[in-house]
Structure 1
Amino acid sequence: MRFVKTFPLLFSLGAALGSANAWALLTDRDQPIRVQADSAELDDKQGVAVYTGGVVITQGTMKITGDKVTITQTPDGQVDQFTSVGKPAYYEQQPAPGKELVKAYGLTLHYFAPKNQIVLIDQAKVIQEGNTFEGEKVVYDTVRQLVNAGRATGAKVTVPRPRIDMVIQPKKKDGQ
C-alpha cells in the first residue's frame, strides 16, 4: 500500500463509490460523494481504500462516520463492502421523502452494497421512525427497511447483551 495525500485520488474513489446504486435514496445516488478524513491509503491492485481519523462520508441524505473506514471494490470498480470502526461508527439516511432519518450505531459497521445490508456489531442500535432495536448484533436491510437483532456469535463484544432490547412506538390513529 502507498500513502495517498492528493485530492484527485480521493475524488476518483468518491466517483467509484457513486456507482453503488444501493447506497441511498434514488435521488441520493445521483448526488456527489464526499469523503473527509485525516489520511487515506489506496491499493489499486487490491481494490482497497483505508481512511483514518474522523472519517465522514456523505452522499445526499446518507452519512457514515467512523475512526477508520475500509472500502473494498470489485475488479470492475463497483463498491463491494465497507467497514467502519468507531466509538461508535454511525450511519444515517432518509429512507423516503418526508420520512425521518434512520440512524444506526455500532462499534463495527459493515455495509454490504450488493445486499443493501448493514450489519452492526457490539453496542449495536438502529432507530427507525422512533422505534429502537438494540443488541450485540443488528442487521438492517436499507431497501426493505427490515431490522433483525440478536447475539453476535463468533464476534468479540465489549458489552455482552444476552437479550435484545426493542422499543416500538404505537401507531398514530387518523385525526390525532
Structure 2
Amino acid sequence: MRFLSLESMARPSLLAVALLCAPAWAERGDRNRPLAFAADSARVDEVRQLNVLSGNVEITKGSILIRADRVEIRQTPEGYQSAVATGAPNKRAYFRQKRQGSDEYLEGEAERLEYDSRSDTVRLVNQAVMRRFRGSTLADEVAGNTITFDNTTEVFQVLGGASSAAPAGRVRGVLTPRDAPASEPGAPGGGIGQ
C-alpha cells in the first residue's frame, strides 16, 4: 500500500474538494492540510463526477483519519459534495478527528459513514458508535442503529433498530458532564454495555 498526495494525481479536484469540507466542530486547520490516501485501487470518473477508492482505504487530512473498505465521493452540478465510506464484511468503517480548540477527539464507527455538504450532516448507519475522548480518556459514547450529527447546530440524534450496536436494538449512551472526570470504558457508568 502506497500513500499518494493529491498533487500526484492527474485531475484530483473532486476528491480534494469533497474532503476539504471539514465539519464545524472539527479542527479548522485540517481544511488547509494536504490530503493523502492509500487504497488497493482508485477510479476517477470526471464525466459522472465520481471518485471511488477501494480496498484497505486510508485517508488522512490533518487530524482527520478515515479507514474503510470503499469510499465513494460525488459532486452535484451545484457544487455540493457527498461521500460514503463502507466497511468490509465484519469490519466497520472508522473515522477520527480532533475538535477545534481542545484536546478532544471524536471518533465513530459504522457499517456505512455518510457525509453530505448540502445539509452539512454526518450519518453513521448500522452498528453505529460515536465516542468523544478528552485526551486519551473516553468521555462520551453513544450507540444505536443510526447516528446523525448536524454540524451546523451541533446536535446529534441516535436511533435504535435491528442493526443497532447496542443490545436488543436499543439506543445506549454515557454522557459525562464537561467539568466531571471522564471514565474508562467498562468502569461503573462508563461504556455502552453497562
TM-score, normalised to structure 1's length? 0.79
Q: Distance in 1 between matches of 2:124 and 2:108?
A: 8
Map of 1:166 onto structure 2: 173
| 1:123 aligned partner, one-letter code | Q
Q: Distance in 1 between matches of 2:100 and 2:47?
A: 37
Q: CA deviation at 1:10?
A: 6.8
Flag structure 2 segments of 5+ consecutive residues without an equivalent: 1-5, 134-138, 181-194
Q: Distance in 2 between matches of 1:139 and 1:121?
A: 9
The sequence identity of aligned pairs, in percent, is 26
1:27 maps to 2:29 = yes
Map of 2:85 onto structure 1: 84
Q: CA deviation at 1:25?
A: 2.8
Q: CA deviation at 1:127?
A: 0.6
The SS at the match of 1:75 is coil
Flag structure 1 segments of 5+ consecutive residues without an equivalent: 1-5
1:70 maps to 2:72 = yes
Q: Distance in 1 between matches of 2:153 and 2:34?
A: 24
- Supply the RMSD in Å over aligned alpha carbons: 2.8
Q: Give the aligned length.
A: 165
Residue 110 of structure 1 is aligned with which of 91, 114, 119?
Answer: 114
Q: For residues 18 and 162 of structure 1, do their structure 2 counterparts lie closer, same or farther at Cα, with a shift above 3 Å needed?
A: closer
Q: Distance in 2 between matches of 1:19 and 1:109?
A: 16
TM-score, normalised to structure 2's length? 0.73
Q: CA deviation at 1:151?
A: 3.1
